[in-house]
Amino acid sequence: LKVGILISGRGSNMAALVEAAQDPAFPAEICCVLSNRPDAKGLDFARARGIPAVVVDHKAHASKAEFEAAVIDALVAHGVDFVCLAGFMRIVSPAFIERWHNRLINIHPSLLPSYKGLHTHERAIADGVKLAGCTVHFVRAEMDAGPIVAQAAVPVVAGDTPDSLAARILTAEHRLYPLAVRLIAEGKAKITGERVEIAPGAVD
Ligand code: GRF
């Protein structure tokens, strides 16, 4: 896979993917990192690793369609054929999703289909659930829906705050996202229709 990563800020999941891909045995290449915000911290990390870091500022485009056309042009110019959303804070349009049909994945900090949307950690704590986690899924027009590729669970413990739970989940995210990309690149996570099948033995 020739991967492009879309970010808006910190970019710690992007960094985890970049680091995983530095292993020559990793079956995917990170071709570029693209941010809609010029001040995204993650851009510096990508540049320091010699990965093309592109800014497509949504504020510099008259419409969402023009912004997304510029994003697509930049990705294509870098040879991207698979896109990972990693803290990209723009809702992508159905046309964008169609352009990357089954080649566009996202990471969300909850065990989907529970806790779609924002403030997932706060809501999980308020509900008293004892397991929280993260999900990598193919992107569909409905937000935080779409075929699930991989999930990781973490405990919720006494005294957890949204921040402490977020940090525990983020650590799991940094392992999960590279795993999900690897499974897809190796053909061990295959999407058929609206379901992803994981090859037996592909994950311990
Ligand atoms: C992560 O929690 C991710 O699940 C969510 O946004 C956050 C992005 O963090 N979609 P980072 O920019 O990857 O550090």
| Main-chain phi, psi angles of 3, to 5 degrees | -100, 135
Do 88 and 123 fall into the same domain? no
- Indicate whether 72 pLDDT > 90: yes
Q: How many angstroms does the Cα of residue 4 sit away from the middle of ligand 1?
A: 16
Atom of ligand 1 nearest to the CA of 107: 4
Tell me the catalytic residues: 108
For a mutational test of ligand 1's pocket, the pick from 5, 6, 12, 36, i.e. the residue with the most ligand atoms closer than 8 A to its C-beta, is 12
Q: Is 14 marked as a binding-site residue?
A: no
**pLDDT class for 204, splitting at 50, 70, 90?**
confident
Q: Give the domain-ending residue among 101, 116, 145.
A: 101
Give the tokens for residue 7.
């970010």
Q: Is 164 marked as a binding-site residue?
A: no
Do 118 and 97 fall into the same domain? no
Can you tell me the distance from the alpha carbon of 11 to that of 6, in angstroms, rounded to the nearest whole number?
9
Q: Can you give the pLDDT at residue 69? A: 98
Can you tell me the distance from the alpha carbon of 199 to that of 195, in angstroms, rounded to the nearest whole number?
13
Q: Can you give the pLDDT at residue 12? A: 98
> What is the mean pLDDT of the segment spanning 161-173?
98
**Which of 55, 35, 98 has the alpha carbon at shortest distance from 14?**
35
Atom of ligand 1 nearest to the CA of 169: 2
Can you tell me the distance from the alpha carbon of 27 to that of 34, in angstroms, rounded to the nearest whole number?
21
Query: Residue 162: which domain range?
Result: 107-204
What domain count does the chain have?
2
Do 111 and 204 fall into the same domain? yes
Convert the pLDDT of each residue in 121-139 to its tens digit: 999 999 999 999 999 999 9
Convert the pLDDT of each residue in 91-109 to its tens digit: 999 999 999 999 999 999 9
**Which of 62, 54, 12, 19 has the alpha carbon at shortest distance from 33?**
54
Q: Give the domain-ending residue among 80, 101, 122.
A: 101
Atom of ligand 1 nearest to the CA of 109: 4
Q: Which residue has the tokens 């800014």?
A: 55
3 state DSSP class of 86: coil
Convert the pLDDT of each residue in 177-202 to its tens digit: 999 999 999 999 999 999 999 999 99
For ligand 1, whether the C-beta of 133 sits within 6 Å is: no
Do 76 and 112 fall into the same domain? no
Q: Is 143 marked as a binding-site residue?
A: no
Do 49 and 69 fall into the same domain? yes
Q: Is 49 marked as a binding-site residue?
A: no
Do 84 and 116 fall into the same domain? no
For ligand 1, whether the C-beta of 108 sits within 6 Å is: yes
Do 140 and 86 fall into the same domain? no
CB 156 within 8 A of CB 109: no
Give the tokens for residue 50.
């010699």
Do 132 and 82 fall into the same domain? no
Q: How many angstroms does the Cα of residue 87 sit away from the middle of ligand 1?
A: 4
| Main-chain phi, psi angles of 198, to 5 degrees | -95, 130
Can you tell me the distance from the alpha carbon of 7 to that of 194, in angstroms, rounded to the nearest whole number?
26
Q: Can you give the pLDDT at residue 106? A: 98
Size (the chain), residues: 204
> What is the mean pLDDT of the segment spanning 133-153?
97
CB 126 within 8 A of CB 46: no
Can you tell me the distance from the alpha carbon of 21 to that of 51, in angstroms, rounded to the nearest whole number?
11
CB 176 within 8 A of CB 134: yes
Q: Give the domain-ending residue among 53, 86, 101.
A: 101
Residue 156's CB: how many other CB atoms inside 10 A? 20
